[in-house]
Chains A and B, each alone.
Chain A
Amino acid sequence: MITFIVRRLLGAVLMLLVVSMVTFAVFFLVPRIAGQTTDQLAAQYVGRNPSAAQIHATEIKLGLDKPIYEQYGRFLKGIVAGADYNDGPDVSHCPAPCFGYSFKNQEPVWPQMLGALPVTGSLALGAAIIWLVTGVGIGVLSALRRGTVFDRAAMSVALAGVSLPIFFTALLSLAIFRDTIPLFPDAATWIPFSTDPGRWAEALVLPWVTLAFLYAALYARLTRAGMLDTMNEDFIRTARAKGLTERQVVVKHGLRATLTPIVTIFGLDLGLLIGGAVLTETAFSLPGLGQFAVNAIINQDLPEILGVTLLAGFFVVAANLIVDVLYAVIDPRVRF
């Protein structure tokens, strides 16, 4: 078990390294191959109408004149140990993990991302709880009542949930529950949990439900299909033959087997979302990682794009790792 986790951990680190290399290459190597000079690269960091001296100073400061592998080493070192930028007269220190400074406001990237993380985290975790409970619950009931009015209605709603885009349901819910009926007047604002937990939750209800609707629909369909499969398994017949009540058969034997693959998908979905729920955050004006990424791309803010890509990559890799380890725990047939 320990060796398995260590092996997986090393694999995850390697994976992140590859992700960082590819992203770094996209932003620093490809422009050079495409024929950009280091001066042109450095010019992006300086501002409008810079002087040749400013550009040159920046080039030295960021090490753009150095060979690419040295730059990459510097970039990695910045993330792990922090970096010092030689500004000529004084040296500015960027503490680890250092993703550099934003083009737009000259702020270090990492604290900005750190500030956005609780927003995305609140959104993703809250929605995840809602969609897991409702999705799995509806899926199980649908499977057990297959072909009934409940099943048909639930699956129709689920189809709608999967098909409707977030920006549509988000705006619809805002129009109805904030503007027409002012049930959630704070929706589409961000109130930190530490400020007021009650208003934090109230402001997040609509984003949670909107995001959860999409995933709950997906999970209901997955659970229903899995449950229908499982309930036809031989071991379910065995469970009944033992004299278990139908409820025990469904919960202890049916659900246990159905949930295993669901847990896997759940972990991956959650990892992906924490890296930025782009559409939901944009629709509800939540200053999370998704919105941060969108703004970074719009502003062509290289250090920010690089940082948010790596962070999102980190969450996906971490989710994969956790799911792998968890899977070995819940499915005894998986051995290391």
Chain B
Amino acid sequence: MSRKADEWGGTDGFVDVRPRPGEPEYYDSAPKPSSSFLELRDLRVHFPTDDGLVKSADGLSFTLERGRTLGIVGESGSGKSVTSLAIMGLHKATNAKITGEIWLDGEDLVAASADRVRQLRGKKMAMIFQDPLSAMHPYYTVGTQIIEAYRIHNKVTKAVARRHAIEMLDRVGIPQPASRVDDYPHQFSGGMRQRAMIAMALSCDPELLIADEPTTALDVTVQAQILDLIRDLQQEFNSAVIIITHDLGVVAELADNIMVMYAGRTAEYGPTDDIFRRPQHPYTWGLLGSMPRLDRERADRLLPIMGTPPSLINVPSGCAFHPRCTYQKLTSGRSIDEVPELRSVDGEHRVACHLTAEQRLTAWETDIKPKL
């Protein structure tokens, strides 16, 4: 890395995820490296603004192994995308204050230098974005963009990289890849563009793939194809995958584990089966209740979650969900005063809720489950 490049990417530029002097230290001694492939420990992403501190992610912890898929679910503004961008090191240092630890294969990305994180981007970890039309450069051909991604991390000639790009396009199911490689993004259909985006992300065989709402901008018929593609490629590459979505249907298909986020915190975390069969958090019930079902008749209308998502500047006291929670009164005020800890319900299944296990079971069995 030359001095010049530092000038471009220096302090006023971007990505210096290290905490600054004077910021609160969450660990007194040197943190222990994680033995997991990916582990987040108490990750906090805060944005100081003129109106106050926006706590987009506030104390997230989870682990993810190679070959496994984590689904992160939540409403807009719950901190899903902010978390994934923090892992990728894509927040501007001037805007975001990031603390905590992000261990990726034995390296703490929060403590690592900006340039080290840059080297890992694209190679060790890659990201697929929501809207492939705006996420691809309109003035470069699809091939050029894949070739560029490949040649950053592999010292090969253009011709070799081009063959690789064609191969990648073929692998993600684009017909006539040898000619389509010279097309521009606008000449692709939405689904094809997302495939090309995936080809670009996978061009360096990343071990961690983050897909931020990969199907939101696509037709329903194409959505399933893209999800299948991600699953197939994951099995082929044995990579760890994080899927971010507000659509529970998407993660039901793909994820091994699901993390439900609310106002920058984890509301509930657990194996996909548990989340769907024995959900513990009233917010998760709300998400399930507001999901249309086609496979069987509904007893009632959809059950929307009342109220609006909270402001991340003035997060409600105690449990952030309490103003919208039907069961808030059962906790005799604890919801309002006390932030619930994430506690284990059953093995890996964890929930942050003040309701007792009996209260949750009764509410789920009598109020929610019959109406789904």
Interface status of B26 (Cβ within 8 A of chain A): no
A148-B10 Cα distance, complex, nearest whole Å: 14
- Which residues of chain A have C-beta atoms less than 8 A from B139's C-beta? 256-257, 260, 330-332
Interface status of A104 (Cβ within 8 A of chain B): no
Q: How far is the CB of A76 from chain B (nearest CB, A)?
A: 42
- Which residues of chain A have C-beta atoms less than 8 A from B4's C-beta? 247
The stretch that binds A, out of B40-48, B122-130, B240-248, is B122-130
Contact, CB under 8 Å: A247 / B118: no
- With A241-B121, A241-B126, A242-B152 known to touch, is A247 a contact of B138 (CB < 8 Å)? no
- Which residues of chain B have C-beta atoms less than 8 A from A252's C-beta? 148
Interface status of B37 (Cβ within 8 A of chain A): no
Choice from A243, A247, A253, A331 contacting B123 with Cβ under 8 Å: A243
Interface status of B49 (Cβ within 8 A of chain A): no
- With A144-B12, A238-B129, A333-B186 known to touch, is A243 a contact of B153 (CB < 8 Å)? yes
Contact, CB under 8 Å: A234 / B148: no
A256-B145 Cα distance, complex, nearest whole Å: 14
- Which residues of chain A have C-beta atoms less than 8 A from B148's C-beta? 242, 244, 252
- Which residues of chain A have C-beta atoms less than 8 A from B120's C-beta? 243
- The chain A residue with its CB closest to the CB of B210 is A241
Within 8 A of A (CB), among B115-171: 118-123, 126-127, 129, 131, 134-141, 148-149, 152-153
- With A238-B129, A243-B153, A246-B8 known to touch, is A257 a contact of B138 (CB < 8 Å)? yes
- The chain B residue with its CB closest to the CB of A240 is B90
- Which residues of chain A have C-beta atoms less than 8 A from B106's C-beta? none
A238-B200 Cα distance, complex, nearest whole Å: 10
Contact, CB under 8 Å: A242 / B134: no
- Which residues of chain A have C-beta atoms less than 8 A from B200's C-beta? 238, 242
- Which residues of chain A have C-beta atoms less than 8 A from B13's C-beta? 144, 246
Interface status of A145 (Cβ within 8 A of chain B): yes
Size of the B side of the interface (Cβ < 8 Å), in residues, is 37
A238-B8 Cα distance, complex, nearest whole Å: 18
- Which residues of chain B have C-beta atoms less than 8 A from A144's C-beta? 8, 12-13
A157-B137 Cα distance, complex, nearest whole Å: 33
Contact, CB under 8 Å: A237 / B152: no
- Which residues of chain B have C-beta atoms less than 8 A from A148's C-beta? 12
Within 8 A of B (CB), among A284-336: 330-333
Majority secondary structure, A binding face: helix
- The chain A residue with its CB closest to the CB of B123 is A243
A148-B11 Cα distance, complex, nearest whole Å: 12
- Which residues of chain A have C-beta atoms less than 8 A from B153's C-beta? 243
- Which residues of chain A have C-beta atoms less than 8 A from B127's C-beta? 241
- The chain B residue with its CB closest to the CB of A331 is B139
Contact, CB under 8 Å: A242 / B122: yes
Q: How far is the CB of A235 from chain B (nearest CB, A)?
A: 4
Contact, CB under 8 Å: B186 / A253: no
Q: How far is the CB of B103 from chain A (nearest CB, A)?
A: 19
Contact, CB under 8 Å: A333 / B8: no
Choice from B8, B119, B136, B137 contacting A243 with Cβ under 8 Å: B119
- Which residues of chain A have C-beta atoms less than 8 A from B14's C-beta? 240, 246
Choice from A237, A240, A333 contacting B138 with Cβ under 8 Å: A333
- Which residues of chain A have C-beta atoms less than 8 A from B123's C-beta? 243
Contact, CB under 8 Å: B152 / A235: no
- Which residues of chain A have C-beta atoms less than 8 A from B118's C-beta? 240, 243-245
Choice from B121, B135, B201 contacting A235 with Cβ under 8 Å: B135
Interface status of B9 (Cβ within 8 A of chain A): yes
Within 8 A of B (CB), among A201-242: 233-235, 237-242
A240-B184 Cα distance, complex, nearest whole Å: 20
Interface status of B5 (Cβ within 8 A of chain A): yes
Interface status of A250 (Cβ within 8 A of chain B): yes
- Which residues of chain B have C-beta atoms less than 8 A from A242's C-beta? 121-122, 126, 148-149, 152, 200
Contact, CB under 8 Å: A333 / B90: no
A86-B236 Cα distance, complex, nearest whole Å: 90
Q: How far is the CB of A247 from chain B (nearest CB, A)?
A: 4
Q: How far is the CB of B10 from chain A (nearest CB, A)?
A: 8
Contact with B along A135-165 (1 / 0, CB 8 A): 0000000001100100000000000000000
- The chain A residue with its CB closest to the CB of B120 is A243
A331-B88 Cα distance, complex, nearest whole Å: 30
Q: Can you list the 6 inter-chain pairs with the closest CB atoms, starting with the nearest?
A: A246-B9, A243-B122, A243-B121, A247-B8, A234-B134, A242-B122
Known: A244-B122, A253-B137, A332-B141. 9 other contacts (CB 8 A): A144-B8, A235-B138, A238-B129, A241-B90, A242-B121, A242-B126, A243-B123, A250-B8, A331-B139
B residues in contact (CB < 8 Å) with A: 1, 4-5, 8-9, 12-15, 88, 90, 118-123, 126-127, 129, 131, 134-141, 148-149, 152-153, 184, 186, 200-201
